[in-house]
Each structure stands twice: as structure tokens, then as C-alpha cells.
Amino acid sequence: MTVAALRREFPALHRRPGRPGPVYLDSACMSLVPRPVLAAMEEYYRDFPGCAGRSFHRFAEEVSHRFEGTREEFRRFLGAPSPSEIVFVRNSTEAINLVGQGLPWARGDRVVVTDQEHNSNLIVWQRLREERGIGLDILNLPDGGGFDPEALEAILTPTTRLVSLFQTSNLDGRSLPLREIADRIHARGGRLLVDGCQAAPHQPVDLEALGADYYALSGHKMLGPTGTGVLAARRPEFLSDLRPLLVGGETVAWSTLHAHELRPPPHRFEAGLQNYAGVLGCGAAVRFLRAHGLETIRDHDRSLNDRVTRALAGEPRLHLLGPADPAGRPSIFAFTLDGIDPTDASLFLDEAHGILLRSGMHCVHSWYRARGLTGNLRASFYLYNSAADARTLVTGIEELLDRIPAPGAS
């Protein structure tokens, strides 16, 4: 399917009268939703709006079958050993909290994160440090990309219980060598939790090959609806070790007025009525991605990023974040412009050229505050972006730089 034909599957890309664009370059925040995903959600509410696992009438049976079928879709998508290692949650934030709040911590246990983590993979560990006395160690990453294995080795201790970090950064698009990191923490008896939000939508994932013991992702970054996500585990016992965040309906095998027994994973973690339409929409998103090929999507992202990077390489006022080579940050082009506030730049690009991108600190406040920065701009590419989108971005940035003089210019 050509990019032009693919774009027709995304209603949000239709032009609005009197407005330029949209040139949507904010998929790292939230991806657009294709027609098959919208259809899957509508079909649930229209044709079988029942509760899974409760009643036995035709609506309930249909949604139960499709809900568990989506679990199998994600098992194959992530290379989990069985559907029982797939837990449906609201987003990756909930998935990370499920691991953080659910592990049986002992005072003195330690967690390692990088200095470039999303707030979702930082705040929970700060709270556990305050409430349960765990240690929190920060692995500083080189600003220009790359990874220092000796720095990791130096920070790991015999009491490091967990390393929790991104696979691909939402800040600058770099990816980490997870297999090497996993081997080092596993050699000490610890576990690896991976924030896969920026990786799973763009490249194949295999938990065993990566060595990821837990893997968190959000549906809204991979063509799915908001309020959907997954926590996947590489081994059944990794879920059995966790205490549920919530208990109640659907989490118990039986209860009396004085006791109860929890169901086995994953159902013990899925309390109450679930977001059936959202989960079925996520299943449609997974099928859509698999049909178009994750390797193809990754190569397409990188091609667009390369176009933009080369076109703007000679602009002295534009400064890239992360690796200089687009191959090291395929889906993300993060940058600052000398003398131009990121929010002002974002508003201009939208109003003048219909370019929708992200400005600010990208939920990684700690990284920016440590450097005294107020934020930057981030364009993120995905399968529905075209070469014309890349050209429009370049044109918009060049016009903005022409309009606003460089600092100190007369």
C-alpha cells in the first residue's frame, strides 16, 4: 500500500477548509487512529455490548471470545510465552506502577533508572524510596547518544533488585542495548522492566531476545485508543510475584464475608469492568501494524528523519538532541532554535503551515531542569507521514528562522 493510500485510512488527516495541513508530527505523544480501529470499537458497542466473563448470553460470549483473542494478539506481538502473561491496563504508567507497587520490596533493595526517563518511570520509584526505603540510583546517559556499559556496571550492586528504563527515549529517540543491560542485571539476580512506549509502535519486539522481564506499553502510541495499555511478562512467575494494585470484581475465584482467593494472573490484575471497546480496538491496531510490517515502518520513519536532518544540517541556529545520525533516533527529530521559544515556534508552525508537533519538556522535567533548559521542539514520524510532510517541516522551520533574527543580530 502506498503512503497516499495508507493516509486515507486515517480520518484525522483529512484537510479542514481554510486551514493548512494537518501535517501530524506528534505521534510520540499520541498516534492517529485508523478506520479498522474505529470500526472495532464501534462494532463492540453496536453488536455485542456485553460483559466478558460474567454472563453466558450471546453478547457476553462474543466479547469474552474477542477480549481473550486480543490477549493472544499481544502475546504474538511481544513474544510472550502465553496469553496469561499479558495484562490489560489503562496505559504504561499503570503498568509500571503495577510492577513498582506490586513487588515485595525489602528495605535496602535498589532500583536503577536513567536520567532521561519519562515521569511515569521516575516518580513511582521516588515514592517507593520515601515510603518503603528502597534505594534509587541514576544512570547518566551521554547527551549525544550512545551507552556506557561500564557506567552501568559501576552503578549495579548486589542489592539492585530492578533496572527500569526505556527501550527508546521519547526525548531524543535513542534506543538502549537492552540485551546487554538484561544480561548484567540477571547475573546479579535482578530483573529488567522496560518502558516500550516509543519502541513497540515502530519495531519488532521479542521479550526473550531482549531479556525484558516486564514490558510496558500504551495503546494510544501505536494506533490504538486512549485508556489502553499492556503489561507483559517474560515468565509466568514474574506476574505471580506481584501484588495487585486493585482488587474486587473479576479478580477473585471466590469470596466469603471473611476471606477470598485471587484468580491466577492475568485476571487478578484486571479489576472491575474492563475497557472492552478499547482493548478490541487495540487488537485491531496490532493487526494493522503487523499487516504493514514493523521493519517497514521503522525504515520509513528513518527515511523521513534522514530527509529532514540532511535538509537542515547547515542551519547553525538549529541544534539537535540525541544522536546526530537519524539511524540512532529513527522516529524522533528533537531540536532547539536559537532565539526562539519552543512554544512560540510550535504555534507558528501550526498556524502558518499546519504542522502539529510537540514543544516543552516531554514529561522528562528532571532532564531539562538539571540542564537549566525550558524545553525544546520534537517532531515524531510514523507510518502515515509522507515525504511532503518532511518537506513542509523543513520549509516551516526555514521560514521561522528567516522571520526571527538570530540573538544579537542587528
Instruction: List, as one string, the DSSP characters of 2-35.
Output: -HHHHHTT-GGGSPPTTS---EE-BTTT-----H
Determine how β-strand 229-233 pairs with β-strand 376-380.
Answer: unpaired
CB neighbours of 69 closer than 8 A, spacing ≥ 6?
283
Q: Which three cell numbers stand for residue 149?
A: 556499559
Matching residue, cell 515525504: 387
Amino acid at 233: A
Annotate 66-117 with DSSP letters as a single string.
HHHHHHHHHHHHHT-SSGGGEEEESSHHHHHHHHHHHS---TT-EEEEETT-
Eight-class DSSP state of 404 = S
- DSSP letter, residue 175: B
Catalytic residue among 29, 51, 282, 363: 363
Distance CA 323, CA 215 (A): 24
Distance CA 396, CA 399 (A): 5
Question: How far is residue 367's CA from residue 372's CA, in Å, rounded to a whole number?
Answer: 9
Cell matching residue 22 = 494537518
Nearest Cα neighbor of 212 from 174, 237, 185 is 185
Q: Catalytic residue at 363?
A: yes
- Cα–Cα distance, 364 to 227 (Å, whole number): 21
Residues with catalytic function: 363
